[in-house]
Structure 1
């Protein structure tokens, strides 16, 4: 048991040390293609950003969703571009690709096409028409009569059960 624990601990330490050695020396997130919005309805416009291609721009490819190619122009800290999702796009997740002009680095991001807009949580409003009245009707007299009928039925049922338990019969 100790031997297995030592082996696992040693392996974990080795993997951790290797991770520290392999970690890139630069900071920031430069390996991803950021899509805004990440979830879009057919016909919507998507803005694409990446810090990986900020020096020379990039050529974007959204043909997976049917939008074709687009250009990412270099900005201060990132390259930016736009494309429109065609109205005929089917719901699903699509990979969008950009290839940097300098160095040919390839970065990708996922775009989700949905049939409903994701503008936050939608809360229902109004009442549901079920054909059954609420707990309190519109007429307080009918409500009072109903409550009285339930009270009489409960009292009568209790009295009959009490008589039966004493052996008097019905």
Structure 2
């Protein structure tokens, strides 16, 4: 018969532990699904780019239907992220032609000031193609005729 009080005590302990956690989680969720407060990450594609190239930025840290501003020392100028068919926010950014190779932070700030997202992109040096062997250039079929 002692199992009945133990069962009630265990149930009360579990409820007491679960209640603050569920109250905190419920309090932190936005009432409006479009309203999102917090931080997140920026997906950058491609993550490695040469100077003068372009990258695409995507984030859902600001919620749906919102806008944001994105900036980095590697960008020619700041960019405005706009809704992307319900998949968060999207923008394209051009990398400065004089950007030195290395890692650059990208910061996105939600327009309403209630969220931000960060990411990192890598600027890689340009590699100029050079021929592996000299190319025999000339008059083609006329070389024999000219000789």
TM over 0.5: yes
Q: Which position in structure 2 is the counterpart of 1:80?
A: 90
Matching residue of 1:61:
71
What are structure 1's unaligned runs of at least 5 residues? 1-20, 118-125, 128-170
CA-atom RMSD, angstroms? Answer: 2.9
Aligned length: 95
8 A Cα contact 1:54 1:77, kept in partner = no
CA distance in 2, matches of 1:109, 1:90: 18
C-alpha contact 1:53 1:74 (8 A) present in aligned 2: no
Displaced runs of 4+ in structure 1, greater than 6 A? none
> Which of 116, 122, 125 pairs up with 1:115?
125
- Pairing 1:105–2:115 present: yes
Q: How many Å apart are 1:41 and its aligned residue? A: 0.6
**Which has the greater radius of gyration?**
1
In the alignment, what sits opposite 1:71?
80
Q: Higher helix fraction: Structure 1 or Structure 2?
A: 1
Q: Spell out, residue by residue over 1:52-89, the C-alpha distance to the aligned partner (whole angstroms, 9 max, x if none).
A: 12431101112x11422110001212100011001111
Unaligned regions of 5+ residues in structure 2, if any?
Answer: 1-20, 30-38, 134-147
Q: TM-score, normalised by structure 2?
A: 0.56
Match of 1:42 in 2: 51
Cα separation, 2, equivalents of 1:68 and 1:52:
21
Q: Which has the higher contact order (CA 8 A, sep 6+)?
A: 2
Alignment-derived partner of residue 40 in structure 2: 31
Q: Which has the higher strand share?
A: 2
